[in-house]
Structure 1
Amino acid sequence: MTPAIELNDLRKQYGRQTALHGLTLSVAPGTVFGLIGPNGAGKTTTLRMLVDIIRPTSGTARVLGTDPRTGGAALRRRIGYVPGELRMEGRTTGRRLLDFYASVSGPVRPSQVNELAERLSCDLTRPVRTLSKGNKQKLGLIQAFMHEPPLLILDEPTSGLDPLVQREFLNLVHEARQNGQTVLLSSHVLSEIQQAADEVAVLSEGRVVAAGAVDELRLGAVRRVRAVMTDADPDAVRSALAPLSPTAAPEIRAQDDRVIVHSTIEGDVDPLVKALARFHVAELLIEEPDLEESVLRLYGPSRPAASPTGGE
C-alpha cells in the first residue's frame, strides 16, 4: 500500500542553520499520525514542505503519491491544511470567505459548512476582522475539513480553542479516520496526541528521536508531583523518599507547620505515593508537565531513535 506521506532523508537549511537533519518517516493511509516536539524541533518546517510553501534543501517527499514540488493545485485540492500561524483578515464574513475557499478547493457537500459551523460553535455572519483568535481558528478548521480531503495536515489546530471545542475537534479527527482519511497532526498538547493518534514521531532539534505506536512510547510517563504534609518532620520525609529512583529528584522544604515536596517522576508514581502515605498528606497534585519537558526528558537528542515508521 502506497504511504499517504513518505519522507526520505529530508533536510532543510537556512544559511548555516539546519532546521531538519535527514528526516525520514512514513504515514500509512487512513491513520492519524502525531508529530510532536518542543518549539524549534522542525514540526512546522516539515508540514510547510508537504504543501510546498517551502522546499527542502535535499531529500525527497511524496504526498498522496506525488512530489509536492510538482503536484501543484491538483494536489493541494486533495489536502486540508491548517497552518500554525493562521492569519485571516478583511471585511468579508466568515461564510463568504468559506465560499471562496470552496471555489478553490473543490466541491463541498451541501450543508457541510453549516454542520461544521454548528459543531464548532462558529458564527459565520460576523466579519472576519472582528473575530477572536479562537473563532478564526474555527474558520480555519472548517475550511480544512469541509471538502473532505483524503489528507488533513493540521499544525497546532486547537490553538486558541476552548476545551469543549477541542473535544469536538477530536471527534472530527476520529470521524475522518473512520472515513478513510489520513490525518497528520502537529500539537503541543500531549493529551491531544494520545487521544487522537495511532502513531507518533517525536522531533527534537530537527531529528526524529523516537517513533512508533502511541501506546508503545512513554509519552505520559513523566509527571509532576506536589505534596503538602502537616505535622511531618522534613528529615523524616527526606529519609522516606531516599530509596526512590533518582529520577524522582524530590525537592523538600519546610514552611510553617507544613512540609512541601516537589518532584518530577518518570514511570510509576506508586512508590512515591506509598512513601508519602506514612505521613498526613493534606494536598496531593499529580499533573502532566509541559510537552517540551516531557519529550526532552524521555527522548532527548542524545537518545537514538528506534522506529518501525522510519525514524532517523
Structure 2
Amino acid sequence: MSVLAVNNLTKRFGKFTALDGVNIEVNEGEIYGFIGPNGAGKSTTIRVLLGILKATQGNAKIFGQDAWSDAVEIHKHIAYVPGDVNLWPNLTGGEVIDLFVKLRGNNNKSRREELIQKYNLDPTKKCRTYSKGNRQKVALVAAFASDADLYILDEPTSGLDPLMEQIFQECVLDVKSKGKSVLLSSHVLSEVEKLCDRVGIIRQGKMIESGTLSELRHLTRVHMLVETKQTLTGLYELEGVHAIEEKDQAVSFQVDAEELDNVIKHVSAFGILKLESTPPTLEDLFMRHYEQKDESEVGGAS
C-alpha cells in the first residue's frame, strides 16, 4: 500500500523552477532513498511534503491526504529530522525530546531512555551548549521515540560520527521491521545502499532514475580483474570496456553490464587463471549518471 505518493510535482519561485515534474512513491514498510547533490531539489520536495511550501502544480499525498490542506492531521503520524537542527536554546535536550514525543501522543519512557543511552546523549544540558552532532541526536531520539507511521529524514546523519551513524542505521531498520515507512534523503551513498529498498535520483529538480538497486544496476559497470595464461589483447577494441589498467600479470577494467557476455567469451580464449568481478555500487551508478548528463548537455550546447 502506498503511504506517500508524489505525482508530477512542480514548484516554481518566480521564474526559477526548483522542482520539475517529480514523481515518488513510498510503500508501507519500505525505506526509500532520495538522493542527489546539494541544490538538486531534495529539501524543497520535503518542504512540500511537510506542508511548508505549496506546490505550483501536481500533488503530494501522505496516507491518502493532501500534504498542503491536510498538513495538521498528517503531522500526527509523521516524524521529521532535518539536516540542520535548530532547538530552543533555554530548554534542555530532554525537555525538547519530551515535547516532541508528547505532541505525537506517545509517552514511551523506556524507549526514550534506551535511545538516549544508545546515542550517548546528555539530556540535562541546555540546547544552546550542544554541538551540531548533539543537536542532531536530540532530533533523532525525538523521532525514533515517537510511534510514527512515516519517518521523513533529510540528511539526518550530518554531524554524526561513524559509530552514531551505525546506531542510526539500526534505528531505521528497527522501524522498518515494525512495518513503518522511511523517506531518507541523503548524499551518503553507502548509507542509502545499506538501508534502502528503492532509490530515486534527482538532478536539477527532475527525477532522472528510480527503482530498486538491482533494477538500476543494469545501468552501471561491473569491475573486473583478470589474469590469463597468454597475454590478454584486444580489450581496447571491445564494445563496453572502460578504464583498462595493467597490474603486474593481471588486467583490471570496467564492463557495461549488457556487454559482459561478449567480454567473458573474449577473455576466456586467453586461458583464465584468475577472474574477480565486483558488482557496481550506488556511487558508480550515481557518478556515471552525472557524467552522461554532463556530456549530453555539453554536446547539446555546441
What is the TM-score of this pair, normalised by structure 1?
Answer: 0.75
Match of 1:258?
Answer: none
What letter matches 1:214 in structure 2?
A: L
What's the offset of the Cα at 1:86? 2.0
Match of 1:122?
Answer: 121
CA contact (8 A) 1:188 1:291 kept: no
What's the offset of the Cα at 1:222? 6.3
Distance 2:221 2:87 in 1: 37
CA contact (8 A) 1:38 1:292 kept: no
CA contact (8 A) 2:84 2:136 kept: no
What's the offset of the Cα at 1:301? 9.9
What's the offset of the Cα at 1:56? 0.7
What letter matches 1:35 in structure 2?
A: F
Match of 1:35?
Answer: 34
What letter matches 1:127 in structure 2?
A: K
Distance 2:116 2:292 in 1: 39
Distance 1:131 1:82 in 2: 17
Change (3 A) 1:302 1:36: farther
Match runs of 1:81-230 below 5 Å? 81-218=80-217, 221=220
What letter matches 1:20 in structure 2?
A: L
Secondary structure of residue in 1 paired with 2:168 = helix
Distance 1:23 1:165 in 2: 32
Secondary structure of residue in 1 paired with 2:87 = coil
Match of 1:50?
Answer: 49
Change (3 A) 1:266 1:146: farther
Higher helix share: 2
Distance 2:285 2:135 in 1: 25
Structure 2 runs not aligned, ≥5 long: 225-232, 247-251, 268-279, 298-302
Distance 2:60 2:295 in 1: 24
Secondary structure of residue in 1 paired with 2:217 = coil
The share of aligned pairs that are identical, in percent, is 36
Residue 292 of structure 2 is aligned to residue 293 of structure 1: no
Match of 1:59?
Answer: 58
Residue 67 of structure 2 is aligned to residue 73 of structure 1: no
What letter matches 1:24 in structure 2?
A: N
Change (3 A) 1:130 1:200: same
What letter matches 2:113 in structure 1?
A: N
Distance 1:67 1:178 in 2: 27
Distance 1:92 1:220 in 2: 49
Structure 1 runs not aligned, ≥5 long: 226-238, 253-261, 275-286, 304-312
CA contact (8 A) 1:55 1:69 kept: yes
Match of 2:230?
Answer: none
Change (3 A) 1:129 1:295: farther
What's the offset of the Cα at 1:72? 3.4
What's the offset of the Cα at 1:165? 1.2
Change (3 A) 1:58 1:45: same
What's the offset of the Cα at 1:25? 2.5
Distance 1:192 1:219 in 2: 21
